[in-house]
Structure 1
Amino acid sequence: MLRRITRRTVLSSLAAAGLLTTAAACSPSGGSGSGSGSGGDGTASDAGGSTGGDQGTLTFRLWDQNAVPAYEESFAAFTEASGWNVSIDVVPWADYWTQLPLDIASGDAADVYWLNSANYVQLKDSDALLDINEVIPDGAAQWEPSVVELYTRDGGLWGVPQIWDSIALFYNAALLEEAGVDPSALAFDPAAATDSLRDAARALTLDGAGLHPGEDGFDPDTRAQFGFNSQADRQAIIGPMLAANGAEWQSEDQYTFASPEGIAAFQYMADLINVENVAPSAADTNENGDFTRDLFTQGKLGLFQSGPYNLLAISEGVADSFEWALAAPIAGPAGPKSLVHGVVAAGNAQADESQQQGIAELLTWLGSKEGQLPLAEKGVSFPGHVEAQDAFISFWEGKGVDVSVFVEAAKNAAEADTGARANAGLTAAIPIFQEVFIGRLTAEEGIPQAQEEGNAAMAG
């Protein structure tokens, strides 16, 4: 009999796990988007900006303090060129999506503000956003195509791409060499008895006695080293592996992931945890989305599929402990797939007429190579302008890391979340995903339920 999850006791962990919204990882700090700009009180903070202009002051809002120094540098050049000052306002992620609609309704929204893919449709439908195609004609050709596509709807483009991320495979070079694993040759196939991912993950997993899964006496409760980070992570694991198995995430504004291909992919991901014993327990990863990242930096995880939002944390956490590098995301029957998310700068269509010229000038600057170079040169994230991306690549080359694999991965994009109530859909579906990953529901039981409840939530 189908067991239905009616209580949402795990919802309190979703923010900590970085799973509650689709573009949290696009925050330069990654994860759930920290409130580092709130001054500790959960409210907006004035984070600086630029001064000295004589045209007036524009306001710019974002949710991540880590990006502020780059924007301060960018806006100083903008003020010198345009005469417009820019005041930067940081609202922490935990409050951002509740505060923004309130400010829009009261007329207090910033002139330009960061926006993610799960929230823009509702604002666009309420006529809160400027159509960038009208503000910057032919501007889209300058920007990362996957992000442009993500924010294109009903013939309009509803934000200027600022930063973006895709998915690749971080690997511990020493562990892989010892286990004889080639990171460029990894693939999975739920229909096969085994595959190169399962074989590699078993070779990389060790219990306290040095035994591998499948060997006599292997004790999963004493595991000291793990193979792969299979977990209920929508962006790094679920999205890419569903698409790589030929499953569709959604059609228009309706989830369609409960197809045979989708159910098989979900069961495969859960079995890596509960049957193969090559991934950490979902009891740990459901509660803490950074659990596997921390295992990787400690040298206890061989393969970690994730995005550039974890580059700084891994670089700083590993330091000189071991050599690590990047490879393409794990391929499936449909090839390797990467979920691409992006953050855009949205123009406030309801701002005073006296501000609209300045808003147009600021959006144009934010879409330019010059306007985005500080984001790249300070290592914040991949910039939206394609000609500024080399600067981000160069930043990481200076640290001995080739991040161009993320650019290649973005060319094979899986479906991201869109729709007026995408966050509501995910809030309903993800706890059920977590039940599948922890093994309390099979994919055949849980995934159709997640689709049904997610679609009901998106329908309002």
Structure 2
Amino acid sequence: MLNRRTLLSSLAAAGLLTTAAACSPSSDSGDTRDDGAAGSGASDGGGSTGGDKGSLTFRLWDENAVAAYEESFQAFTAESGWNVKIDVVPWADYWTRLPLDVASGDAADVYWMNSANYIQFKDSDALLDINEVIPDGAAQWEKSVVDLYTRDGGLWGVPQIWDSIALFYNKALVEEAGVDPSALAFDPSAETDSLRDAGKALTVDGAGKHPGEDGFDADSREQFGFNSQADRQAIIGPMLASNGAEWQKDDQYTFASPEGIEAFQYMADLINVENVAPSAADTNENGDFTRDLFTQGKLGLFQSGPYNLLAISDGVADSFEWALAAPVAGPAGAKSLVHGVVAVGNAQADEEQQAGITELLTWLGSKDGQLPLAEKGVSFPGHVEAQDAFIAFWDEKGVDVSIFVDAAKDAAEADTGARANAGLTAAIPVFQEVFIGRLTAEEGIPQAQEEGNAAMAE
């Protein structure tokens, strides 16, 4: 096992001390799906008391999940005798603090982890192999998340929450435009397709004209069709996979294939040629721009994940009715990018803590341990049998979210690898240049692949 000085050096060299945000589900703020509460430093998120065996620490980055974990840990303490203290470290500081704490021996006993970072901690012997801690436990959990955190014969976290991708739609707008959101598909090789046709029918300028009609003025658009934008999780990942393109192989990007370049150009053309999506000048700067258009009733089709459910529900309120459909299908079918957050066990904790860590991880992987996450609407829980409670939460609000479960069954490739954050950080700005129209996909996508792979190799 690496000593603390060597561990700190290896994590710093790998880029974890200054890592950028990457995609995975968590809160309702930011467009990275990992954003937690604003601010800096750590805060005491509460926990549970009254046990007589000792105390364990649990770290996460999202204030929105604290109340659910407090409820869960109260039951855990009553059952096990272990107290749990919750430590909230906001996303802005999480990946700076964590490697330092791991290297110094001050890491929490159990803490949240995402797919873009776990491999570096796993390779540094910082994480417990869940297959050894909870034998046969993986059968209880969402398979796509288990697969995401399985590497070198081990499972490196207990699935906690996850999300996939679906299509939010404004019922009144699609009905008026004669659009069937359940039958939308795209085909870059065709002259047009149902997505482009729907986008045109839903896009309206200040004079009531649609794209393609004489006198249409793109600069005066008051309503848009679809949210094509440089969004890795909701748009790029699903549409690449739906066009038969591969994202990466053996921790190297491979998206600059003919199918990948074709898909990127299609996504950019929805903005700059078809005029059915907002300008990338807006969406590159604000990832939530299209979500806000949707809640304002100015966007007919919004492809996104359950991480936006609460924001849309609260934003729309009673303004109009909305619902969900499967993500837009391409030649290879409908694909959804799945991300998940896991709870990892500190392999370097004191020996006397290991028994408690095992008990806590086992509880966090159980249906009872995860029900509060579902019942409070935090996100889809990792335990398959707890998912009905999350669905019921949204059923009471009149929204059928089971489409996300179906979408997760055919998942596109998520970001993995020891330097996944660095690679994505290098590639995204080039993607944005393609979406804004300053580079063609043929020019930009090979460049993005080269720069992303170079960053992951450093």
Partner of 2:111: 113
Question: 1:29-77 deviations in whole A, cap 9, x for unaligned?
Answer: 56344452x6x4x101011000011111100000000000000000000
Give the match for residue 161 of structure 1: 159
The letter for the 1-side match of 2:83 is N
- Which of 331, 334, 338 is matched with 1:333 structurally? 331
Q: Which residue of 2 aligns with 1:449?
A: 447
Match 2:238 to one of 240, 244, 262: 240
Mapped to 2, the partners of 1:431 and 1:25 lie a distance apart of: 22
Residue 376 of structure 1 corresponds to which residue in structure 2?
Answer: 374
Counterpart Cα distance in 1 of 2:160 and 2:215: 52
1:16 maps to: none
- Which of 122, 147, 172 is the equivalent residue of 2:145? 147
Who is 1:31 aligned against? 31
Q: Which 4+ stretches in 1 moved above 4 angstroms?
A: none
- The one-letter code matched in structure 2 to 1:244 is S
2:216 corresponding residue in structure 1: 218
Match for residue 286 of structure 1? 284
The within-5 A match list for 1:198-347 is 198-347=196-345
Deviation at 1:26, TM superposition (A): 3.5
Match of 2:69 among 68, 71, 84: 71
Q: Could you tell me which residue of structure 2 aligns to residue 12 of structure 1?
A: none
TM-score w.r.t. the length of structure 1 is 0.94
Alpha-carbon shift at residue 20 of structure 1 (Å):
5.3
Give the corresponding residue for 1:11: none
Per-residue Cα deviation, 1:396-433 (whole angstroms, up to 9, x for no partner): 00000000000000001000000000000001000000
- For residue 252 of structure 1, report the CA deviation from its aligned partner: 1.2
- 1:6-85 equivalences under 5 Å are 21-27=21-27, 29=29, 31-32=31-32, 33-36=34-37, 40=39, 42-85=40-83
Residue range with higher mean Cα deviation, 26-35 or 422-431: 26-35
Measured in 2, the distance between the counterparts of 1:338 and 1:35 equals 23
Q: State how many pairs are aligned.
A: 439
Paired with 1:21 and 1:179, the residues of 2 have a C-alpha distance of: 38
Q: Tell me if the contact between 2:28 and 2:310 (Cα under 8 Å) persists in the aligned partners.
A: no
Aligned-pair identity in percent equals: 85
Partners of 1:109 and 1:28 in 2: CA distance: 26
The answer to whether the aligner puts 1:127 opposite 2:132 as a matched pair is no
Residue 27 of structure 1 deviates from its aligned partner by: 3.6
Output the CA distance in 2 between the equivalents of 1:445 and 1:346.
Answer: 41
Distance 2:208 2:20 in 1: 37
* Structure 1 CA distance for aligned equivalents of residues 24 and 452 of structure 2: 19
CA 1:366–1:28 in structure 2 vs 1: closer, same or farther (change >3 Å)?
A: farther
Equivalences for 1:180-195 in 2 at 5 Å? 180-195=178-193
Shift, 1:22, TM fit: 3.1
Compute the RMSD of aligned alpha carbons: 1.1
Deviation, 1:134, is: 0.1
- The 8 Å contact of residues 63 and 91 in structure 1, kept in 2 or not, is answered as yes
| AA matched with 2:88 | V
**Among residues 84, 90, 94, which one is paired with 1:86 in the alignment?**
84
Q: Look up the SS of the partner of 1:85 in the other structure.
A: strand
SS of alignment partner, residue 199 of structure 1: helix
Letter in 2 for 1:139: G
1:270 counterpart letter in structure 2: A
Question: Which runs of 5 or more residues in structure 1 are unaligned?
Answer: 1-18
Matches within 5 A, 1:360-439: 360-439=358-437
Counterparts of 1:263 and 1:210 in 2: how far apart (Å)? 34
What do the CA deviations read for 1:163-198 (whole angstroms, capped 9, x no partner)? 000000000000000000000110000000000000
Residue 9 of structure 1 corresponds to which residue in structure 2? none
Secondary structure in structure 2 of the residue aligned to 1:313 = helix
Secondary structure in structure 1 of the residue aligned to 2:270: helix
- Tell me, in whole angstroms, the C-alpha distance in 2 between the residues paired with 1:167 and 1:26: 14
Q: CA deviation at 1:354?
A: 1.0
Distance in 1 (CA, whole Å) between partners of 2:28 and 2:371 is: 15
For the residues of structure 2 that align with 1:103 and 1:444, how far apart are their CA atoms? Answer: 44
- Tell me which amino acid in the other structure corresponds to 1:312: L
Distance 1:239 1:22 in 2: 13
Contact 1:28 / 1:64 at 8 angstroms: preserved in 2? no
Contact 2:252–2:453 (Cα < 8 Å) also in 1: yes
Whichever residue aligns with residue 273 of structure 1, its letter is: I
Q: 1:25 to 1:286 in 2, by over 3 A?
A: farther
> Is contact 1:172-1:325 (8 Å) kept?
yes
Supply the distance in 1 between the matched residues of 2:193 and 2:97 (Cα, whole angstroms).
Answer: 47
> Normalization by structure 2: what TM-score?
0.95
Q: In the alignment, residue 243 of structure 1 is paired with which amino acid?
A: A
Distance 1:299 1:359 in 2: 48
SS in 2 for 1:26: coil
Match of 1:101 in 2: 99
**One-letter amino acid matched to 2:410:** N
Structure 1 residue matching 2:324: 3-state secondary structure: strand
Q: Shift of the alpha carbon at 1:23?
A: 2.5
